[in-house]
């Protein structure tokens, strides 16, 4: 079994250098090129003081504090438990209601759709958050390639099922494999990425190697890791979390400070690495980009 090489400290770009490089790139017009989707200081959604500027969460926190229930329900030490996950060879099957179903080897997929950098906020439904410099390509490019038919309304994503490698899948509390879904227009939105890396490096297993979804205006659980299948479907998919606890986890899972989780408030969040809590922003601060997708919908009902 292939060992995942640990990343040496010397190979990691320190966050402060990374940040100044980002600022530099932003300054020379990457914003115009559309590569930076993070507003340095998003407009406050409600009154009550300025929202502090966003800064990148450290590489150590992004790779050391995770949710990956296929391995464990604990957030720490997933890197160790997942260190031997076999990510090569890896294929992603894309099918369902499409004219051109295809199975892609991961390396071909990344050659066809070269990854770009996108810095996004990530807000977990558990009320913690991070800011992560992802590498990835828009999911829309892959969907265009396979040509969804007129009957396709939703996209269903399936993660790896392999209890021998993923000990958490012995836990029958959950209906494995991990499934997630998006409406087709959400999936086609330019913010929606298939990510293969972060901080300029290939994804580590704990972050969903070799390919995971990133939909930054939705709670983190929508961003399914270690994807092996993508299907275009007519009916709204039932995600692992909807099946496990339908009154707590809805299909949309849009970040919304006005709709509390039945067991806790969603009005604020703990930004990993910061002392003070932050106010949670509607659609995680991406309202300008995505609010139109939900025009006329009752976001309390469609939570
Ligand atoms: N994908 C799979 N396959 N299994 C999981 O348990 N957890 C989700 C999401 N994707 C999860 C998953 C949750 S709850 C969150 S918050 C994010 O992954 C966490 O991503 P990160 O560990 O890279 O920060």
Cβ atoms of 242 and 171 closer than 8 Å: no
Cβ atoms of 283 and 233 closer than 8 Å: no
Q: What does the pLDDT read at residue 231? A: 99
- pLDDT tens, the chain, 303 aa long: 333 333 333 333 446 556 555 544 433 333 333 334 554 444 444 445 688 999 999 999 999 999 999 999 999 999 999 999 999 999 999 999 999 999 999 999 999 999 999 999 999 999 999 999 999 999 999 999 999 999 999 999 999 999 999 999 999 999 999 999 999 999 999 999 999 999 999 999 999 999 999 999 999 999 999 999 999 999 999 999 999 999 999 999 999 999 999 999 999 999 999 999 999 999 999 999 999 999 999 999 999
Ligand 1 neighbour 240 (Cβ under 6 A): no
Ligand 1 neighbour 286 (Cβ under 6 A): no
Mutation to probe ligand 1, out of 58, 68, 131, 201 (largest number of atoms < 8 A from CB): 68
What proportions of the chain, in percent to the nearest 5, are helix, strand and coil? 25, 25, 50
Distance in angstroms (rounded) separating the CA atoms of residues 128 and 200 = 23
Pairing state between β 227-233 and 91-96? parallel
Q: What does the pLDDT read at residue 49? A: 67
Distance in angstroms (rounded) separating the CA atoms of residues 117 and 120 = 10
Q: Which class for 173: exposed (0-12), middle (13-18), buried (19 or more C-beta within 10 A)?
A: exposed
Least Cα distance to 23 among 40, 9, 11, 6 occurs for 40
Phi and psi at residue 106, to the nearest 5°: -55, -40
CA 136 to chain CA mean position, Å:
11
Least Cα distance to 157 among 108, 103, 69, 222 occurs for 222
CA of 67 to the centre of ligand 1 (A): 5
| CATH of the structural domain 3-294, one choice from 3.30.1330.200, 2.60.120.40, 3.90.1170.40, 3.90.420.10 | 3.90.420.10
CA of 32 to the centre of ligand 1 (A): 31
Task: Tell me the CA end-to-end span of the chain in Å, nearest whole number.
Answer: 41
Ligand 1 neighbour 69 (Cβ under 6 A): yes
Atom 22 of ligand 1: nearest residue by CA position: 66
Domain edges within the chain: 3-294
């Amino acid at each position: 079994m292939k060992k995942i090489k640990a990343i040496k400290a010397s190979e990691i770009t320190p966050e402060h250098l990374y940040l100044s490089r980002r600022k530099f790139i932003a300054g020379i017009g990457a914003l115009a090129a559309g590569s930076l989707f993070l507003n340095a200081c998003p407009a406050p959604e409600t009154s009550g003081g300025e929202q502090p500027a966003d800064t990148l969460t450290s590489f150590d926190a992004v790779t050391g504090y995770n949710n990956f229930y296929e391995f464990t329900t604990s957030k720490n030490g997933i890197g160790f438990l997942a260190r031997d996950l076999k990510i090569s060879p890896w294929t992603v099957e894309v099918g369902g209601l499409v004219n051109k179903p295809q199975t892609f080897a991961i390396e071909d997929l990344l050659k066809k759709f070269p990854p770009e950098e996108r810095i996004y906020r990530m807000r977990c439904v558990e009320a913690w958050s991070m800011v992560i410099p992802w590498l990835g390509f828009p999911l829309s490019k892959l969907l265009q390639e396979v040509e969804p038919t007129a009957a396709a309304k939703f996209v269903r994503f399936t993660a790896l099922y392999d209890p021998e490698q993923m000990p958490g899948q012995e836990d029958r509390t959950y209906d494995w494999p991990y499934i997630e879904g998006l409406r087709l227009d959400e999936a086609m939105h330019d913010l929606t990425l298939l990510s293969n890396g972060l901080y300029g490096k290939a994804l580590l297993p704990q972050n969903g190697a070799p390919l995971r979804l990133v939909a930054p205006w939705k709670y983190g659980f929508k961003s399914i890791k270690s994807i092996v299948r993508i299907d275009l479907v007519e009916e709204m998919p039932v995600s692992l979390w909807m099946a496990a606890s339908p009154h707590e986890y809805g299909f949309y899972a849009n970040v919304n400070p006005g709709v509390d989780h039945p067991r806790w408030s969603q009005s604020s969040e703990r930004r990993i690495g910061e002392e003070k809590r932050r106010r949670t922003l509607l659609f995680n601060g991406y309202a300008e980009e995505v609010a139109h997708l939900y025009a006329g919908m009752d976001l309390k009902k469609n939570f």
